[in-house]
Every structure is written in C-alpha cells, then in structure tokens.
Amino acid sequence: MNLSLRNTLTGLALAGGLWACGPAPKPAELVSYEQMRQGDYAQTVQERHPDLFAEAQKYYRRALEAHDDGEDERTLHNTRLATMTWRTAVALSQTKDAADSLRAADARLQRATEALADADQRRKAAEDAIARQRRINEMQAKLDAANQRAAQKQQATDAKTAVEGAAAKVQLAETMGGGTHAPGPLNKAQASLKMALAAFDKADYAEAARVAGLTAADADVAIAAAKPFYEAEEKRKAYDLELKKMLEATADVPGAEARVERRGLVVSLRSLFAAGKSSLDPDVTAPLRMLATIAKDHADFRLIIEGHTDNRGRSQRNLELSEKRAQAVTNYMAGEGVANDRMTALGKGDAEPIADNSTRQGRETNRRVDIVYLRPVVPDPQAAPAPVQ
C-alpha cells in the first residue's frame, strides 16, 4: 500500500472515531414531548397543576440524563412517563375549561330565558294598553265626526262617557287582582268592553252605552271580590312601612337593640335594673321615655313588655323577678301616656335565653326587657267566600 493511500485511510478512521464519540440524536418521542411542552396549555398546566408539572419535569430530566448516558430503554421509559403525566394535566385542564364553558353557557341560557319571558310579558301588557288607547283614540275620532251631526252629538257623548267609565272599571278590576279572585266576571267584562267599543265604532251609540253598562256591572262584581285581598295587601305594606319608620326612630334610643321580626318590632333594653331588683333606676329611664313616644306616635301597635333573666338561681324566683320587672316598665310607660289597654306585661324568667348562660357575657345578654310593638293583625281574606266564578 502506498503512503498516500495509507494516510487517506488513517484520516477516514480518525474522522469516523470522532463522529462516533459525538452526542446521539434525541429519540422521536423525547423530541415530541419537548414540542408538546411548548404547546397552548404549557402555561396553564404549570398554573393549575403544579404537582403534575413538577412530576413531568422530573421524568423529563431523568430521560435527558438517561439519553446522555446512552441508556435508550431508560430514556424511552422516562419520556413516556413524562408524556403521560403531561397529557393527564392537559386533559384535566381541558375538562375544567369544558365544564366552565358549559356552566357559563347554562347561565347565559337561563338569563336569556328569563329575559325572554319578562320581555314577552311586558310586550303583551304594552300591546293591550296600546290596543285600548287606540280604541279610545278611535272613539275620540268618531266623536269628532259625530259632533258634526247635531242629532247624534249628545248620544255619542253619553256613549263615550259610558264606555270610558266601563273601561276604567275594568282597568281597576285588573289592577286589584280580579283575574285571580273573580275570573268569571272579569272575563265577561273584558269581552263586553270589546263589544261596546265595536258598537261605538259602528256609530251604534245606544248599543255601545247599553253594553258598557253590562261591562261596568261585571267589573263591579270583580272589584268587590278582589277588594278585600287588595286592601289587605295594601294594609300589610303600610304596616311594613310604619315598622321601618319605627325601627329608624329607635336608632336614637340609647342602649336599645332593635329588630323587626314576624310579630313586629322588638326593642331589647338592658341595665334597667340592679341585680336582683325590680325597681327602675330613675337615671336609666330616658330610653323608656323615648320608646313611649314611639308607641304614642303609632297608636295601631299594641305592646307586649317581656322580662327575661339569666339562669342563675331558682327558676321560680327568676320568673317572679321577670314579671315584676315587666310590670315596672309597663307602669312607667303608662305614666308617660301609653294607654294601659294597649300593653301586656309578661315575665319569661330564664325560659327564653338568646345567649349562652355559661358565660358572663351571655348572662348579661339574657338579662333584658323586650318591648314588642306587635304588628297589627290584618284580617285574612281567605276566610271570605271562594272566588266568584
């Protein structure tokens, strides 16, 4: 072998050896995992599932170490573990996104459904009002034409007055809930009102006035049936408003704790009596004087004066003490001008604690006098005869 050929072969051998000692290319699965880590959910996985993110990173580092060591099996094994862990985190995030999207869609659908129902109700009411106003406007136009005919002028005016009056009564019956409490008469009134309007449109004023009279009669029946329910509801609203004003007035009463309950306004006072005593201390009667003024300003509200104690001592002794304290407050309120027949004194003893008697603070809370401004009883219209059909 000549020298030139020997040098060439030697160079090729050295080059081949150097190439064999260089880093081997990464397996396709490892490359795929690295690409996947750069995908859309990379940041999301790290934020939502830091534990899975850390676990995937651990397997990924092991795969890189195994690859650097030339351990193909361990490289593949850790790459697959990293891939499964990463895909699990992605799947969990996608599931959460899908659930959030579904909940948002459900909420939008619910809001849209409610809005649609509300809009439909308003539309119908508006259409009814527009139709009625259109009829009234048409009546006015007809009346203007009738005014040109002297013989019909008064008859048209009377018919218009009758129809308008009947329409007003139908409106009142609807407002007062006649559709619930007297559906039969109200339906008849609504139907005959349409007939009266139609007769007026045809210039049949005598018929329009006659049918308007029938309309008004049926509307009166519906109004009479609905009136007790309407008035009771209005009365309850008025009492609720009055209770709110009374509650606001108690804000200026020193030491008073006030709240509105189902039975009425309850005002709790403490420190009116010395321990074991039932005589009022003149230095602490200012709150009672202010509460008496509230009582006089709201004469529809009866009062119950309740005495309460903690549970120390014998129950019978506590009951007697609470009765005396309640009566002492009642007597004071009477002296301030509150009628005796509006007030009832009750001793509750330790039977109705509102705090834990095992603590000092709880016992202080339980030792109180409650002045209850009773919500006036509104007669229940349900006791009246069944709805008129």
319 and 349 in contact (C-beta within 8 Å)?
yes
Q: Does the predicted model carry a pTM greater than 0.95?
A: no
- Most confident residue range from 13-27, 99-113, 297-311: 297-311
- pLDDT value of position 286: 94
Q: What's the confidence (pLDDT) of residue 281? A: 84
Residue 246 has pLDDT above 90, yes or no: yes
CB neighbour burial string for 21-51, b if at least 16 within 10 angstroms, e if fewer: eeeeebeeebeebeebbeeebeebbbebbee
**pLDDT value at 181 more than 90:** no
State how far the Cα of 315 lies from the Cα of 20, in Å rounded to an integer. 100
Superfamily of domain 253-374: OmpA-like domain (3.30.1330.60)
pLDDT for res 375: 96
User: Domain boundaries in the chain?
Assistant: 26-99, 124-232, 253-374
Residue of 386 and 340 predicted with greater confidence: 340
Instruction: Return the higher-pLDDT residue of 48 and 327.
Output: 327
Tell me the mean pLDDT in the region 279-284: 88
> Comparing 185 with 143, which gets the higher pLDDT?
185
pLDDT tens by residue, 44-70: 888 889 999 999 899 999 989 999 999
Condensed to tens digits (0 to 9), the pLDDT of residues 75-108 reads 999 999 989 999 998 999 889 889 988 888 887 8
- Residue 127 has what pLDDT? 80
What proportion of the chain, given as a percentage, has pLDDT over 70?
87
Given a cut of 80, whether residue 148 has pLDDT beyond it is no
Residue 328 has pLDDT above 80, yes or no: yes
Which pLDDT does position 115 carry in this prediction? Answer: 59
Q: Classify the C-alpha dihedral 339-340-343-347 as positive or negative.
A: positive
State the pLDDT at residue 322.
96
